[in-house]
Each structure stands twice: as structure tokens, then as C-alpha cells.
């Protein structure tokens, strides 16, 4: 009862903030709404008994990724970018975006009605998870069952870091 | 039903005591800092208000409350008002998971001396404090003042860089205890303090903690000679003092983490646990003030080089060595 009430309240906050991200004119305000969305999502994770994921959500997305977003927005000249955005109108893009958006909603609706509501209960119930410990369980699964995707992701990030360094590095004058 | 009411009642009492004491300590932290620094520089410090200036924090508080509250004409109002709140709330929140003492029993009902013991304790603190950066960045941006903006940008870059080494320096301890709960970490130190097993981890933590709370010698965000006052240049009255309180609350938080992770938490002989915790905290705070009155400020490129090219590799090496030793010992 209390959980579903909290879920509805937090869900509404998440959706409101997500809409706020799109409709704000000023990029900084959009970023602030996005931060709020990230933090509210963490509460939804806690409602799903995934405390570790919730903490990492706040720490990585709200605490690190969004700081860099805000950082870049501040370093770029925001006002000029603002005006340019207002000038060019991409009508074709708008039409296709609306079409694809509706398609996405339809797919999500069909999938939800067909499978998720009729799904079977998995191995990791909240009680079982509390027994092992949330963090321990995530760590164990990450390094046993899902070690391949985990390592692939780390290689991908490593490649991205090296790419960023090469792009940012000034060429030495001879 | 009675249990639920009793639980809620005790939780509310615990929260009010911790937060009341926290705010009082923040006020007196400023007095301690002024006094200790004054004596280190062969001065007396505040002497006029009360015995040895003991009422000075009260006088300062009243003065700040009655000052005119100025919001700059070109500032973006909502963020300008929100920024100090974003700065102080996370700083105060992290005390919810710090254990101040062992269980005590009052008329058959045992009470934990911690507001809540959650199984992701330290992650909660790291997550909550990482949100505090926004207070500073948004304050810098919303003031629409170039010095504020520069201060805010510097500060955010510095805090992200050193947050990494703070997190990594604590992982050694987490590997030994195999738990993220602060209560478990204190219980694991019943024989030896972890500072003995993790000296390098502690060194890295101590340095990055000073940088994380923007204190001298890492106080570049508010370097007076370059940036007027940094991100809070345009702030006045109680909004300004909220930033000040947030900074001191952060000092208390990093000291409490240092005590819990490396110095056995509330454990100690003879005296009651809470007193031991406060003594250890006070020594940490004294260390902060001592550093401030000893070292000159870093240059900005030195700061970044030091964080990324020295502290981070050392913290990573510490994790590898700790892992190897744990595997070898079994």
C-alpha cells in the first residue's frame, strides 16, 4: 500500500522532471531537471529493493555524469547556442520524431500487456536478496554470470578514454 | 502497533539530537578554528564576547540573520535561492548512517547509537555528498558574475577529481571488512585500527578529504587574490552563512568517516563510546585547522596534476596490493 503510493508519487515526479528537461529553453535548467530525474529514479530503485543500484545511480549519474554536463554547458557560450536553436526549424525531424515516439509507446504498451504482467517470479526475491546482501549479490553476478559483458563494457570505456585524450591532446610544435 | 510507535518516537528523538548537536558543533567549529589559528599565529583570537569569545558564534549568527539579503538583478532567481539549500542538505544528511556508539539499553529496549544502519552505508554517504557539488556550481552560475562562475567551475572540477581518490582510498577497508555498513566496519576494528593495515589508504584519504572540502592548501575555489571570494561572491546574509555551514558540515562528515574507517570509530578504553568518538573527531578537526595555518595554496595545474597523476594511481595500487595480501593470507 505504502509502496505503491510512493511509487505513484515518485513516478509522477520523474515524469514531470523528464518533461521539464525537454521543455526548458535554458540548457542549465534542463540539466537541473535531468539531475532531479536521476535522483528520483534512485528512489524507484530503492522501492525495488535494489539499494546498491540506487546509490550508484545517484553517485554516477547525478554526481559525476551530470556534473560534466553542467560543466560543458557553462564552458560553452550558452546564449549564442540558444539563439541558433530557435532559428532553424527542422520540420521533417519533428514529424518523424512524433511518429517514432508513438511507435515506441505502442511497442511498450504491447510488451507490457503481453509479457511483464504475466511473467513468472525469478530466483531473487527481496527476502532472498536481503539474506545474501544486495551489494554482494550484484558483485557476485557481475563477476560470474555477466563477466563477459562487464569486461566488454570496461574495454569500451577504456577505448573512449584513450580516444578523448588523443582528441584533446595538442600537437607538439616542432 | 506499539512497536511501530515506539520505533518512530525513538527515530525522531535520535534525529533531533544528532541534528541539533550537529548545528551547534558547526557553530563552535568556527570558534575553534579562529581560536586555534590565532594561537598558532601568536594571537588571541576572539576574546570580547563571553569568556574567551565563547559566545562569538551566537553573535555572528545574529549579525548574519539581520544583514540585508541581496539578490543580484541579473541573477537567475530560483537557482540563486536553491543553491545554498542544495549545498547544505546533503552535507547534513550524511550523518544519518554514522554510528556514534555501541547499543545502549533503556528499560529493556535496546537502542542503536546510529540513526539508521543501512547495508550500503558508505555508498549512501558518497552518493549524497556527490550531490552537494551542485550547490557550488549552481551558485557560481546563477550569480551571473564571472568570478563566481570561475570559482564554481574550479570547485566542481576539483571536487570530481578528488571524489575519485576518496572513494578508491576507502575500498581497501571495505575489502577487509567485506561490508559497506559503517556499523560492521567499526565492529571489525575491535582489535586493531584499520589505519595500521591501510596506512597508504589513510594518507590518500586524508589528502583528498582536505581537497574535497575545499580547504587550504586546496582552497582554490575561493582564492581571494584571484577570484574575490569564489562561488559565493554575490551571496549575503543567511544564504552566505548556509554555504559556510555546508563547508563546516562537510569537514565534520569527512572527519567522521576518517574516524569510523581508520581509527576504530567509537571504540576506546575507560571513557563512554560517544566521548571517544567526539575526542577522535576533535583531533581530526584540529588536524584540518593545523594544515590550514601551515601550508600555502597550491597552483591550479599543480592541484590537477597531483590529483590525477599521483593520488589516483597510488589509490589504485593500494587496492591491488590489499587484494593480493588478502588472497595470500586467505
How do residues B235-247 score in pLDDT, each as one tens digit? 877 888 888 888 8
Residue B6: which domain range?
2-329
The terminus-to-terminus CA distance of chain A in angstroms comes to 71
Contact B111, B105 (CB under 8 A): yes
Average pLDDT value over all residues in chain B: 83
Q: Which helix (H) or strand (E) holds B103?
A: strand B101-106
DSSP code for B115: S
Task: Identify which of A51, A56, A67 has the shortest CB distance to residue B160.
Answer: A67
Do residue A68 and residue B160 have CB atoms under 8 angstroms apart?
Answer: yes
Chain A residues in contact with B4 by the CB 8 A cut-off are none
Within an 8 Å CB–CB cutoff, is residue A166 touching chain B?
A: no
Tell me which of B77, B119, B171 to substitute to probe the interface with A (most A C-beta atoms closer than 10 Å).
B119
Q: Which three cell numbers stand for residue B150?
A: 570561475
The terminus-to-terminus CA distance of chain B in angstroms comes to 47
Task: Identify which of A55, A63, A74 has the shortest CB distance to residue B153.
Answer: A74
Do residue B120 and residue A35 have CB atoms under 8 angstroms apart?
Answer: no
Do residue B131 and residue A64 have CB atoms under 8 angstroms apart?
Answer: no
Do residue A70 and residue B156 have CB atoms under 8 angstroms apart?
Answer: yes
In whole angstroms, what is the distance from residue A143 CA to residue B23 CA?
43
Look at residue B223 and tell me whether its pLDDT is greater than 80.
Answer: no
Mean local confidence (pLDDT), B194-215 = 86
- Contacts A–B by Cβ distance under 8 A: 75
Q: Residue B105 pairs with which residues in a beta bridge?
A: B110
Higher-confidence residue: B45 or A9? A9
Do residue A71 and residue B156 have CB atoms under 8 angstroms apart?
Answer: yes
Q: Which three cell numbers stand for residue B149?
A: 562562475
Beta strand pairing call for B109-113 and B101-106: antiparallel
Considering the entire predicted model, what is its pTM? 0.83
Task: Identify which of B79, B119, B126 has the shortest CB distance to residue A59.
Answer: B126
**In a structure prediction context, what are the per-residue pLDDT tens digits for chain A, which is 174 residues long?**
778 888 899 889 999 999 988 888 788 888 889 988 988 888 888 888 888 888 888 888 888 888 888 888 877 765 655 555 555 566 778 888 889 999 999 998 888 777 666 666 777 777 777 777 778 888 888 888 889 999 999 999 999 999 988 888 876 665
Nearest to B89 by CA among B58, B139, B120, B133: B133
Q: How many residues does the structure list for chain B?
A: 330
Q: Which helix (H) or strand (E) holds B109?
A: strand B109-113
In whole angstroms, what is the distance from residue A82 CA to residue A99 CA?
26
Burial code of B239-261, b = ≥16 C-beta within 10 A, e = fewer? bbbbbbbbbbbbbbbbbbbbbbb
Q: Which helix (H) or strand (E) holds A70?
A: helix A66-75
Q: Kindly report the backbone phi and psi dihedral angles of residue B109, in degrees, each rounded to the nearest multiple of 5, phi listed first.
A: -115, 115
In whole angstroms, what is the distance from residue A135 CA to residue B270 CA?
36
State how far Cα B81 lies from the chain centre: 23
Chain B residues in contact with A168 by the CB 8 A cut-off are none
**What does the H/E/C string look like for B183-213?**
HHHHHCCCCCCHHHHCHHHHHHHHHHHHHHC
Q: For residue A151, give how far its alpha carbon lies from the nearest alpha carbon of chain B (Å).
A: 18
Within an 8 Å CB–CB cutoff, is residue B157 touching chain A?
A: yes
Number of Cα atoms under 13 Å in the Cβ half of residue A150 = 10
Task: Identify which of A32, A55, A68 has the shortest CB distance to residue B120.
Answer: A55
Within an 8 Å CB–CB cutoff, is residue B131 touching chain A?
A: yes
Task: Identify which of A55, A68, A136 has the shortest CB distance to residue B127.
Answer: A55
In whole angstroms, what is the distance from residue B217 CA to residue B33 CA?
15
* Number of domains within chain B: 1
In whole angstroms, what is the distance from residue B75 CA to residue B145 CA?
8
In whole angstroms, what is the distance from residue A95 CA to residue B40 CA?
70
ipTM over 0.85 threshold:
no
Ramachandran region, residue A69 (left: φ > 0; alpha: ψ -120 to 50; beta: rest): alpha
**Per-residue model confidence (pLDDT) at position A90:** 66
- Which A residues in the span 120-159 are in contact with B, Cβ-Cβ below 8 Å? 133-136
B21: which residues sit within 8 A by CB, 6+ positions away?
none
Counting residues of chain B whose pLDDT is more than 90, the rounded percentage is 3
Burial code of B179-217, b = ≥16 C-beta within 10 A, e = fewer? bbbbbbbbebbeeebbbebbeebbbbbbbbbbbbbbbbb
Task: Identify which of A26, A55, A74 has the shortest CB distance to residue B149.
Answer: A74
Q: Residue B106 pairs with which residues in a beta bridge?
A: B109
Cis preceding-peptide flag for B217 (omega within 30 of 0):
yes
Do residue A135 and residue B131 have CB atoms under 8 angstroms apart?
Answer: no
Least confident of A125-134, B138-147, B150-159, B269-278: A125-134
Q: For residue B157, give how far its alpha carbon lies from the nearest alpha carbon of chain A (Å).
A: 8
B281: which residues sit within 8 A by CB, 6+ positions away?
B252, B255, B256, B259
Amino acid at each position: 500500500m505504502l509502496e505503491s503510493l510512493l511509487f505513484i508519487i515518485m513516478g509522477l515526479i520523474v515524469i514531470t522532471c523528464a518533461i521539464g528537461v525537454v521543455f526548458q529553453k535554458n540548457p542549465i535548467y534542463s540539466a537541473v531537471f535531468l539531475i532531479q530525474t536521476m535522483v528520483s529514479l534512485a528512489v524507484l530503485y530503492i522501492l525495488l529493493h535494489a539499494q546498491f543500484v540506487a546509490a550508484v545511480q545517484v553517485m554516477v549519474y547525478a554526481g559525476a555524469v551530470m556534473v560534466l554536463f553542467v560543466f560543458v554547458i557553462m564552458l560553452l557560450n550558452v546564449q549564442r547556442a540558444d539563439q541558433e536553436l530557435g532559428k532553424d526549424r527542422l520540420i521533417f525531424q519533428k514529424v518523424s520524431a512524433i511518429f517514432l515516439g508513438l511507435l515506441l509507446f505502442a511497442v511498450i504498451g504491447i510488451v507490457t500487456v503481453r509479457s511483464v504482467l504475466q511473467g513468472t517470479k525469478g530466483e531473487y526475491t527481496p527476502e532472498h536478496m536481503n539474506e545474501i546482501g544486495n551489494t554482494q549479490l550484484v558483485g557476485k553476478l557481475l563477476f560470474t554470470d555477466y563477466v563477459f559483458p562487464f569486461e566488454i563494457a570496461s574495454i569500451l570505456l577504456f577505448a573512449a578514454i584513450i580516444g578523448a585524450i588523443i582528441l584533446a591532446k595538442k600537437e607538439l610544435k616542432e | 502497533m506499539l512497536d511501530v510507535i515506539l520505533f518512530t518516537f525513538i527515530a525522531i528523538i535520535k534525529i533531533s539530537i544528532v541534528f541539533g548537536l550537529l548545528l551547534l558543533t558547526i557553530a563552535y567549529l568556527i570558534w575553534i578554528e579562529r581560536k586555534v589559528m590565532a594561537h598558532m599565529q601568536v594571537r588571541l583570537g576572539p576574546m570580547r564576547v563571553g569568556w574567551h569569545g565563547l559566545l562569538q558564534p551566537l553573535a555572528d549568527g545574529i549579525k548574519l540573520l539581520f544583514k540585508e539579503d541581496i539578490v543580484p538583478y541579473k541573477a537567475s532567481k530560483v537557482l540563486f535561492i536553491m543553491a545554498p539549500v542544495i549545498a547544505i542538505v546533503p552535507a547534513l544528511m550524511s550523518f544519518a548512517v554514522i554510528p556514534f556508539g555501541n547499543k545502549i539499553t533503556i528499560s529493556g529496549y535496546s537502542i542503536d547509537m546510529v540513526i539508521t544502519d543501512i547495508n550500503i552505508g558508505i555508498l549512501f554517504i558518497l552518493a549524497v555528498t556527490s550531490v552537494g557539488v551542485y550547490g557550488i556550481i549552481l551558485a557560481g552560475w546563477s550569480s551571473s558574475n564571472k568570478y563566481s562562475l570561475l570559482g564554481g567551475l574550479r570547485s566542481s572540477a576539483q571536487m570530481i577529481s578528488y571524489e575519485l581518490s576518496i572513494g578508491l582510498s576507502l575500498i581497501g577497508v571495505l575489502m577487509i571488512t567485506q561490508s559497506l555498513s559503517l556499523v560492521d566496519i567499526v565492529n571489525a576494528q575491535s582489535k586493531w585500527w584499520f589505519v595500521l593495515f591501510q596506512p597508504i589508504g589513510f594518507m590518500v584519504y586524508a589528502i583528498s578529504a582536505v581537497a574535497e572540502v575545499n580547504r587550504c592548501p586546496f582552497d582554490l575555489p575561493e582564492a581571494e587574490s584571484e577570484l574575490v571570494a569564489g562561488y559565493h561572491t554575490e551571496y549575503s546574509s543567511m544564504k552566505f552563512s548556509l554555504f559556510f555551514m555546508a563547508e563546516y558540515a562537510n569537514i565534520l562528515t569527512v572527519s567522521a568517516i576518517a574516524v569510523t574507517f581508520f581509527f576504530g570509530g567509537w571504540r576506546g578504553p575507560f571513557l563512554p563510546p560517544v566521548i571517544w568518538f567526539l575526542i577522535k573527531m576533535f583531533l581530526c578537526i584540529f588536524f584540518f585547522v593545523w594544515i590550514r595555518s601551515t601550508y600555502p595554496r597550491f597552483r591550479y595545474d599543480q592541484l590537477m596534476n597531483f590529483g590525477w597523476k599521483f593520488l589516483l594511481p597510488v589509490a589504485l595500487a593500494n587496492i591491488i596490493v590489499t587484494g593480493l595480501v588478502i588472497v595470500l593470507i586467505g
